[in-house]
Amino acid sequence: MFYRESGDFKTSYAADQQTFPIRFDRIVVALILVCAFLVVPFFINDYWEKSILLPFLVWSLAALGLNILTGYCGQVSLGTGGFMAVGAYACYKLTTGFPDLNIIFVILLSGGITALVGIIFGLPSLRIKGFYLAVATLASQFFLVWLFNKVPWFYNYSASGQITMPERSVFGTAVTGSAATPSATYLFSLLFVVVFAFIARNLTRGRLGRSWMAIRDMDIAAEIIGVPPLQAKLSAFAVSSFYIGLSGALFFGVYLGAVEPTEAFGIDKSFLVLFMIIIGGLGSIFGSFVGAAFMVLLPVLFKNIMVGGFGWPTDMVQHFIFMLVGGLIMFFLIVEPHGLAQLWRVTKEKLRLWPFPH
Amino acid sequence: MNSTRKFGDPILSVNNISLSFGGVKALTNISFDILQGEIRAIIGPNGAGKSSMLNVINGFYHPQEGEVWFDGKLRGSLRPYEIARQGIARTFQNIALFKGMSTLDNLMTGRITKMHANIFWQALWKGKAEKEELMHRERVERIIDFLEIQAIRKTPVGRLPYGLQKRVELGRALAAESKLLLLDEPMAGMNLEEKEDMCRFILEVNDQFGTTIALIEHDMSVVMDIADRVIVLDYGKKIGDGYPDEVRNDKDVIDAYLGVAHD
């Protein structure tokens, strides 16, 4: 009833192609943002920060990045973990090399460095497609993690081989290191995620996004109508790696504080992010967030219900969660192979017409 | 019937083109020109090399011999997207739309050679990128009006029926505002009414925008009605070239079409 387009007339093309064409959507998004920025920071505690909100934000950013590459440009990649490691190590090297450089720039630069690395590993995509490309990107996953283990320069010759984030602050408030408060780290990550989600939306709706989608849907036709495949594919790799690098830097710097590459950026992380976008919805910004929420938050929810609610032993619950989440993944993919975002789109279409569906 | 129409200089001329794939000679020593503002039809039996000819013109195939002159310049070995930028647009025999995108986005993609806002402006959106987008949207809306596809503007093209998809594909090629438009069987598989619509669109495009058109078509009545001049290919060789009436009465052409035994 409230979810209507009728009466909401668009009189200019600018209004017609805005991000949230329906007024109700605009209000809801604005409310969520206000809540996230102005309400949540006052109530956030250590548990909510470390187990729920930060992982969700960090993985959303990674999913957003992979979705640009795989969902919008159609290039399958299994190198996400490796690229996150690049972001993390770039962040570490930059901030220890230039301690006075503001952490915001450090993280942005880490994204930039990852983008360059992404372009290099994206070069094979000009020749190979689909599963073969996935295997080629797998090489980057193993090579990069091996590199960060092997070359001591990357971890500043520390004895343990780990990297540890020193304390850095923005406007006098610590956002990394042990002194950072939950609300500071949360707001810092949230800011990155919100800003870059809007940037992703802008990139995907304009010329660049269309050239990516054209390559995805029919690469030969795309080239013939004037999309340079080299530029389109490599820009997708660059932008996607930039996002994944940001998420890697936040993952290491803000969320974990200290990482060891083999464990933190293994192949399982690449698959995790790939599952997020498949379940959330390929080629959808919203889908990246839903997918990240699904993969990160559901296990936490189940754990709380089973351990906290029923008082079951933790190890048993752990196995139970694997089965439950696995089952749910299958369920949602059978119900809607195009992901949760598509499910939501269909629901919205039905809502718009309700109660007269014909 | 159209011999009274006036045309300009050749916009495209191909000289002695030969194209082969391994031992198969797809095109042998073909030469012809297309004049500014005309509708030029390429006809011939299946496998005659018509689509190969279009592929040579828009740079998807590179012929082993011969040269292509476009817009007064000899064309070197260019990639297809560079040729698109020079002003050649085309449609495909099997629809090659971007199925995951809406009609509007497909048409906007057709204008991609004309959009230049760089990645930072696009990330910002407000300002240059939005202005450019709106300007091109207005041009695209004109094409949407022209092709009478307003109602399916936001529909993903994968959901559209065949006839409409063909129309959207024509729209995408029109959106490029090219100097030369190549249409590969624009009416294949359509019913009479859809064919008539398509003919009307092609003639109006030619008439209103002055676009030069080269088309491949199997429906002879359509070709004879709308084409200004016709080229006939058979087994990769040119066997006829001229006004529709001349071609219709040419002995070689009749032989090729009626299937007289090749000796």
Q: What are the tens digits of pLDDT across the range A162-209?
A: 999 999 999 889 999 888 899 999 999 999 999 999 999 999 999 999
Q: Do B141 and A13 touch (CB under 8 A)?
A: yes
Least confident of A2-6, B115-119, B204-208: A2-6
**For residue A279, what pLDDT band results from cuts at 50, 70 and 90?**
very high
Q: What is the SS3 assignment for B102?
A: strand
Give strand pairing partners of B213: B39, B181
Partner residue opposite A218 with nearest CB, options B96, B115, B133: B96
C-beta separation of A69 from A140 below 8 A? no
For residue A7, what pLDDT is reported?
65
Q: Specify whether the CB–CB gap between A302 and A325 falls below 8 A.
A: yes
Domain for residue A171, yes or no? yes
Q: Is A20 within a domain?
A: no
How confident is the prediction for chain A on average, in pLDDT?
91
Contacts with B206 (C-beta within 8 Å, 6 or more apart), sequence order:
B37, B39, B212, B213
User: Do A21 and A10 meet the contact criterion of CB atoms below 8 Å apart?
Assistant: yes
Taking the mean position of all CA atoms in its chain, how far away is CA A51? Answer: 17
Percentage with pLDDT > 90 across chain B:
67
pLDDT in tens, B71-81: 989 998 899 99
Element at A288 (helix H, strand E): helix A285-303
Residue B128 in this model has a pLDDT that exceeds 60: yes
Give the mean model confidence (pLDDT) for residues B122-141: 91
Residue A110 placed within a domain: yes
pLDDT band at B135 (very low <50, low <70, confident <90, very high): very high
Whether residue A222 lies within 8 A of chain B, CB to CB, comes out as yes
Pairing between β-strand B65-70 and β-strand B10-21 as defined by DSSP bridges: antiparallel
Helix axes A229-250, A207-217, angle to 10 degrees: 110
- Give me A187's structure tokens: 């707001």
How many angstroms separate the most distant Cα atoms in chain B? 68
Under DSSP, is residue B30 helix (H, G, I), strand (E, B) or coil?
strand
Other beta carbons within 10 angstroms of residue A43's beta carbon come to 9
pLDDT score of B262 more than 60: no
pLDDT confidence of residue B4: 57
Q: Is residue A285 part of a domain?
A: no
How many whole angstroms separate alpha carbon A270 and alpha carbon A59? 11
Mean pLDDT of A207-236: 94
Residue B1, pLDDT > 50, answer: no
Residue A99 lies in a domain: yes
Within a domain: residue A213?
yes
The yes-or-no verdict on residue B263 having pLDDT over 70 is no
CB A257 within 8 A of CB A177: yes
**Chain A / chain B CB contacts < 8 angstroms:** 103
Classify A28 as helix, strand or coil.
Answer: helix
Least confident of A64-68, A143-147, B250-254: B250-254
Query: What six digits make up the tokens of A221?
Result: 């036709």
Q: Do A210 and B105 touch (CB under 8 A)?
A: yes
The pair of structure tokens assigned to A160 is 């343990």
Question: Domains in chain B, please, with CATH?
Answer: 1-87+180-263 (3.40.50.300), 99-177 (no CATH)
From chain B, pick out residues whose CB is under 8 angstroms from the CB of A337. none
Number of domains in chain A: 1
A40 is a domain residue: no
Instruction: Please report the pLDDT score of residue B261 as a whole number.
Output: 60
Domain containing residue A183: 51-266
| Element of type H or E holding B183 | strand B180-184
On whether any CB of chain B is under 8 Å from the CB of A241, the answer is no
When pLDDT is averaged across residues B199-211 and rounded to a whole number, the result is 92
Q: Is B78 on the interface with A (CB under 8 A)?
A: no
Residue B80 C-alpha, separation from nearest chain A C-alpha, in angstroms: 5
**Distance between alpha carbon A123 and the CA centroid of its chain, in Å?**
22
Strands (E), chain A: 163-164, 169-170, 173-174, 258-259
pLDDT score at A351? 82
Q: Is residue A36 part of a domain?
A: no
Best residue in A225, A338, A352 to probe B by mutation, most B CBs within 10 Å? A225
Cβ partners under 8 Å of residue B126, min gap 6: none
CA A62 – CA A44 distance, rounded (Å): 23
A147 and A154 in contact (C-beta within 8 Å)?
Answer: yes
